[in-house]
A = this chain, B = another copy of it.
């Protein structure tokens, strides 16, 4: 195997470009030729790619988004789509494929691995942090900091107007982002899909805080909990507080990656090249207990990552 390819799939995450850069340079130093498929899985299906060299990935380390582009690709969800992708790998003599993306991307990669001899290695990059193999995905830290910076600004208004703000952050069906953000902005209440909540508890917290002299408040809600518009209205109706909703949107997906997202990008790229050098495939790299390693693609796809709910209690105590 002397030729490998890389593809970024699913939602973009800050640090994808840093990962591509690291991968290309480390692989090149080991004698690999590297190609980049464009527009996610679509590039594999249509065999649209570009050669990548140490020089051509210059100047992308600090850029958000992905220079390889990404897209939704319904065709890749079909048997025929996956076969086309596999044929591209064969006809282009690609011995190894690095898939940079999140949980959904790895499920696609698992299906593809059943149709190809190419070694597939996944690198988790996602602002949702919902990939089993790793304590932290590339991009998660950046998204958390973007949300925290925005909420720090919103807090100015919350305090000045003595209002309660409900802030919806991303995270798809999971609450990792909301939990980290909520804890670090000092939210009195954090609402995540993994933990049932009672509207009466939220209302009670607001009322008790008012009695203790704390008239402003922050509620951080994961997008996965459902309709935040309605919830904000209900809370306003049931307290004497002015309640405003602010949805931290797509800015969370973009922006220059933080030091930590870039560091993970480099370390994960290094591990991926190690695996490909040893012709090991069908694995996903990750950070576990402070150590970079990898597990099988299948295990990563089939295991749901757990969220530590004790942090909810800690957050509540901290925001007293």
Contact = CB atoms under 8 A, between A and B. Distances in A.
Given A26-B318, A59-B159, A318-B22, A247 B247 contact: yes
B141 A260 contact: yes
A320 B64 CA distance: 21
Interface stretch (A103-111, A262-270, A299-307): A262-270
A70 interface: yes
Contacts of A214: 55, 58
Contacts of A141: 258-260
Number of copies of this protein chain within its complex: 4
A84 interface: no
Contacts of A255: 152-153, 156
Interface string A183-226: 11110000000000000000000000000111000000000000
Q: Of A39, A66, A184, which is in contact with the most chain B CB atoms at under 10 Å from its CB?
A: A184
Interface residues of A, number: 84
A149 to B, nearest CB: 8
Q: Of A8, A148, A156, which is in contact with the most chain B CB atoms at under 10 Å from its CB?
A: A156
Contacts of A159: 59, 65, 69
Contact of A251 (B11, B54, B150, B266): B150
A297 interface: no
Contacts of A256: 149, 152
A288 to B, nearest CB: 7
B55 A213 contact: yes
Interface in A248-280: 248-256, 258-260, 262-263, 266-267, 270
A186 B61 contact: yes
A12 to B, nearest CB: 4
Interface stretch (A116-124, A160-168, A230-238): A160-168
A120 B47 CA distance: 49
A12 B157 contact: yes
Contact of A183 (B213, B251, B263): B263
Given A250-B165, A290-B289, A259 B160 contact: no
Contacts of A66: 160
Nearest to A30: B317
Nearest to A12: B160
A207 to B, nearest CB: 17
A172 interface: no
Interface of A: 8, 11-12, 14, 21-22, 25-26, 28-29, 39, 54-55, 58-59, 61-66, 69-72, 135, 141, 144-146, 148-157, 159-162, 165, 180-181, 183-186, 212-214, 242, 244, 246-256, 258-260, 262-263, 266-267, 270, 288-291, 314, 317-320
12 contacts: A22-B318, A25-B317, A25-B320, A62-B186, A64-B157, A141-B260, A145-B145, A148-B262, A153-B251, A184-B262, A266-B318, A267-B314
